[in-house]
Structure 1
Amino acid sequence: MIIFPKTTFALALACVLASPLAAQDEAIDTLTGDEVTAAIAGSTLLVTVMGGDQFREYFAPDGSITMTGNYGAYDGTWWIEDDTICMELVFPSNDDCWSVALEGDAITLIGADGRIDYEKKIITRSDPATE
């Protein structure tokens, strides 16, 4: 049996309590539906997924989404429901709603279970087709 000094145990416990899993229990301030629309409508977001692949999402003011990345271009729709953003994507097939937190240009999508589902970044507040 290994016996650790009290200071080592206290340091290990402090690291666990400061971990992202513990921090996720803290409440995150989320935007209202109007604030989500103001932040996202007309913006292009950069999304990095596991493995490092990146794609861009353009959220048109008319409620359409265009995604472009390594795998081609895909379309979908977005809308505000209560104080959440909802998206229906053709590929990958997805239809869900999330609460939104915004800090600077960093957008966090939070699922109904309170977990962080996606982190995105606003890279431009314009239509990439007109740039």
Structure 2
Amino acid sequence: MMKLNTVIMTAITVACLGMSTAFADVYMTGKEVAALVVGNTIEGQYRECTIGRKDFSEFFDEDGTVRGRERECRMTGNWTTYGGSWKVEDGKFCVYLGSDRTSGCFDYQVDEDGTLRRFNEEGAMDLMFKIYDGNPNNL
């Protein structure tokens, strides 16, 4: 947990240094997001649990692969697994999961509690992630 706390504090410090006096949204660079999640596991939490939304966990390996598991939103039961890839592209952190899963390059912010927030193209926060050290789910 100490490693993750250090990375989070570094990301917050970097984000604060880049803030403008106009209070514009300041997003992390793709490299900052990668430093936070690569080698770790994220757990997704959608703001709304609508049709097609699923609970999920994803491990971001240093080799550029993503290994995930998912199940129906806020349900108990078996998890299904999936895979994909990640990379930093044009200054953003990008995730490609294939199939019907949301993929692409997004903007991110991290708060003082270590919650990573993803923003869509319109600038609306659409997904929050908890970050866990390493690969606790053996994905």
The TM-score, its normalising length taken from structure 1, stands at 0.67
Q: 2 CA distance for matches of 1:130 and 1:111?
A: 29
Stretches of structure 2 that go unaligned for 5 or more consecutive residues are 1-22, 72-78
Alignment partner of 1:77 out of 78, 85, 90: 85
Choose between structure 1 and 2 for higher RCO, CA contacts under 8 A separated by at least 6 residues.
2
> What TM-score, normalized to structure 2?
0.64
- Write the deviation string for residues 59-113 of structure 1: whole angstroms up to 9, x where unpaired: 1111111111324001011111123111111343433110111113211111232
Question: Aligned residue for 1:5?
Answer: none
CA distance in 2, matches of 1:44, 1:87: 14
Matching residue of 1:106:
115
Gaps of 5+ in 1: 1-25
Identity, in percent, stands at: 25
Partner SS, residue 127 of structure 1: coil
Moved more, 82-91 or 31-40: 82-91
- How far off its partner does 1:129 sit? 5.5
The corresponding residue for 1:56 is 57
* Equivalent residue, structure 2, for 1:30: 27
User: How many residues matched?
Assistant: 105
Q: What is the alpha-carbon distance in structure 2 between the residues aligned to residue 39 and residue 74 of structure 1?
A: 22
Q: CA RMSD in A?
A: 2.4
Higher Rg of the two aligned structures: 1
Q: Which amino acid aligns with 1:107?
A: L
Higher strand share: 1
